[in-house]
Amino acid sequence: MSARNEYPDAGITLFACEPYPFYNRIALCAFITGKKQQDHLHFHCADRLRGDGIDARWGEDVESIDPGSGSVISKDGRRWGYDRLILATGAVPTVPAIEGIDNRGVFTLWSLADAIGVRDALVDAQTVAIIGGGVLGVETAVELANAGKKVTIFEAGDSVLPLHLDRISSGMFGEFLREKGIDTRLSTLVERLETRGAALRVIHRDGAGLDVDMVLLMAGASPDTRLARSAGIKCGDGIIVDSHMNTDVAGISACGNCAQLDGERNFLWNPARAQGEIAGANAFENRREATSEPLVIHLKMPEMPLFVCGSPTFEERGDIVIDDRSGRAYRALRFDDRYRMKSAIFLFETDGFYEIEKTIRRALPVQKDLVEARDIDGIVESVSVPPGDDDYRSSGWVCRMCGYSHEGDYPPEICPVCSVGKDQFLVA
């Protein structure tokens, strides 16, 4: 859409190998348990694309790129010329090298086609093993436990959400999973999956096994660089781009989960969307530049909401960390030696997090005396400014939690997709 807004006369073709119109990947966890139906996954902008003269070709793969002649070749062998090509090929789920990984009953969950397969298999499954205790693994585990399934998480590291939580919050989160009846096996590397009649046996390194009805692989993702690599575009872990989202091949840019900017990859919606807007705006000339964004994780669980911003597990010399635990709630803030906020973890008690996130994004310093007094309530209060009505006026909005886009002067009171309040909407 950003390319269309910036270049009203450009001919734009969108190739998407999935047969479904643009849908909300984030809601797939709710889809597999039947909480959301397929109709609720599709974004309204799929129709808008057509209205805006964008030729959206759902179900049409691009098989190769010929940068020399400036064309892409689709699966049926047709050649399509381009002046400018933007790669947004996303990511592919990591399939760990485990013996028996191709057995019946083993699934990934990344695309709608995956999710339909998982949803159908869940009808007859009571016991589910999840391999991977990261964000997607624990979120899916909670969804399945809430739907009455017996869930076991296998995590190779010694804590859940090892990349995002510190020791205390990870322990508290593990406790919450146990209360939900989810068996979390830490420091447990799965070695083999064996078929036992209708069941699957998950065998881990110490030789012990667990029989389950299905296995979900949630061991991370990696940028989908296949198309770019085959065209000779420079790739590291992802497709390497500069701050204008340009690759090393003239006329070709990349954005979203497939791209690697400043050495960083991202597997989240908001950075992908922001990069897409920049790549679109820069289609024919460099008009916008990417700035580095802190990582923001939001687990959408009413019983145990979690926000993480920045990289709380990455400690640098001189950092000041303050934390506060009370009952089920935990908050931790990290500052540099100039009292600029760098990261935050808010578990269960998430009030004020939106303002904290803005403070981290802008690298703003907070009052030194509040940090030295370890006064987290005071810090949250000092950075919180109640939004006035005028702050809300714009013509397009996007939910920062689920990516739902909304047109109008004001955001909706409640997001119809993920149910967060209007303060969670960003100007589109």
Ligand X SMILES: Cc1cc2nc3c(=O)[nH]c(=O)nc-3n(C[C@H](O)[C@H](O)[C@H](O)COP(=O)(O)OP(=O)(O)OC[C@H]3O[C@@H](n4cnc5c(N)ncnc54)[C@H](O)[C@@H]3O)c2cc1C
Select from 6, 52, 61, 293 the one that contacts ligand X (CB under 6 A): 61
Candidates 12-20, 121-129, 141-149, 358-366; binding stretch for ligand X (CB under 6 A): 12-20
What track of x and - describes contact with ligand X for positions 103 through 122 (by CB under 6 A)?
Answer: ------xx------------
Candidates 20-28, 96-104, 228-236, 375-383; binding stretch for ligand X (CB under 6 A): 20-28
What track of x and - describes contact with ligand X for positions 253 through 292 (by CB under 6 A)?
Answer: ---xx---------xxxx-x--------------------
What 3-state class would DSSP assign to 175?
Answer: helix
- Whole-angstrom distance, CA of residue 361 vs CA of residue 355: 10
* 72 counts as binding ligand X under rule CB under 6 A: no
Select from 16, 54, 190, 214 the one that contacts ligand X (CB under 6 A): 16
* 312 counts as binding ligand X under rule CB under 6 A: no
* 173 counts as binding ligand X under rule CB under 6 A: no
**Sites for ligand X among residues 370-409 (CB under 6 A):** none
* 216 counts as binding ligand X under rule CB under 6 A: no
Among 51, 57, 19, smallest CA distance to 407 is for 51
Nearest approach, Cβ of 266 to ligand X (angstroms)? Answer: 7
**What are the contacts of 300-304 at 24+ separation with CB within 8 A?**
300/139, 300/401, 300/402, 300/418, 300/420, 301/139, 301/142, 303/142, 303/176, 303/180, 304/142, 304/173, 304/176, 304/328, 304/347, 304/348
* 25 counts as binding ligand X under rule CB under 6 A: yes
In the DSSP assignment, the letter for residue 137 is H
* 223 counts as binding ligand X under rule CB under 6 A: no
The first and second tokens of residue 187, run together, are: 């420091």
Nearest approach, Cβ of 182 to ligand X (angstroms)? Answer: 17
Calculate the alpha carbon distances from 193 to 105, 157, 215 in Å: 10, 19, 9
CB 117 within 8 A of CB 211: no
* 90 counts as binding ligand X under rule CB under 6 A: yes
Chain positions contacting ligand X, by CB under 6 A: 15-18, 25-26, 28-29, 61-62, 88-91, 109-110, 136, 224, 227, 256-257, 267-270, 272
